[in-house]
Amino acid sequence: MRPDLEREYVEYVTARLPRLHRTAYLLCADAFQADDIVQATLTALYLNWSRAVGADNLDGYVHRILVRRYLDERRRRWSRVLLGDRVPELTAAPDDDVEARDELVTALRALPKGQRAVVVLRYFGDLSVEATAAALGCSTGNVKSQCARGLAALREALGPRHPVGAANTTKGR
């Protein structure tokens, strides 16, 4: 890549990395997998940077890759083995403690994968209904209905009767 293009890439990635990582974590609720998804996404972005940087909606484009990667990771269970093995120097982090702190993450995990992606992209990624539909490859009507269902399912976790952390016992650990 040309040095000036590469600099633009570094600037973009530096600015977006924390948010992309958070998005990936909300999708998969696993710290390692989130890193893998983000790395795969941004490597793919590097390869197509010269074209991608000219896109009308670069963030939308990146989210689209991110969601695809997330869905791919979920599909290919063996990837967990492969990806885990790639970093033998890292020991597994005690993710469970982190997850247990937030009832919302637990509730998100219980959503169907597509619904979860819709909720995360709409309400964390701040993507429009249209951009969410484009990222997920579905209709805007589908996004709206999934949003409504997702919100309904999360209502309990959001409700005032269930403050953060109060539902840890439901995890059965």
Partner 1 sequence: MDEEDQLRDRLAAVDVPPSRIEVAALLGAGRRAAFRRRSLRASGGVALATAALLAVPPVLTGGTGRPADRSALGPTATTPAATTPARATPPATPATKAGPTAGCRPAELPVPPGTRNVEPAAVDPTGRYVVGNGTVGQDFRPVLWTDGKPRALPVPGTSVQATAVNAGGVVVGLVQNGRQEYVARYADGVWTRLRTPPGKWHPYPTPKINRAGDVVINVEPSGNSGGEGSIALLWKAGSTTAVRLPLPAGANVHAITDDGTLVGGTYVDGVGTAAYAWNQRGVGRKLPVPAGQTGLAYAARGDWVTGGAWPSESVARWNLRTGQVIVGPRWTHGTGSQPYGPGTAVNASGWVVALGTVLRAGKPVELTLPDGRTGRASDVSDDGLVVGSAFSDPGSRHLGPRVWRC
Binding status of residue 111 toward partner 1 by CB under 8 A: no
Binding status of residue 61 toward partner 1 by CB under 8 A: no
Smallest gap from Cβ 20 to partner 1, in A, equals 9
Rule CB under 8 A: which of 72-91 touch partner 1? Answer: 74-75, 77-78, 80-82, 84-91
Interface with partner 1 (CB under 8 A), residue total 64
CA dist., res. 104 & res. 168, Å (int): 11
The stretch near partner 1 (CB under 8 A) out of 54-62, 95-103, 127-135 is 95-103
Closest among 46, 135, 31 to 83, alpha carbons compared:
31
Binding status of residue 31 toward partner 1 by CB under 8 A: yes
Binding status of residue 51 toward partner 1 by CB under 8 A: yes
Tell me the one-letter amino acid at 145.
S
Query: Cα 116 from chain centroid?
Result: 9
Per-residue tokens: 16:
């977006």
Select the residue interacting with partner 1 from 2, 56, 92, 161 (CB under 8 A): 92
CA dist., res. 125 & res. 144, Å (int): 15
Binding status of residue 120 toward partner 1 by CB under 8 A: yes
| C-alpha triplet 152, 132, 43: angle, nearest 5° | 125
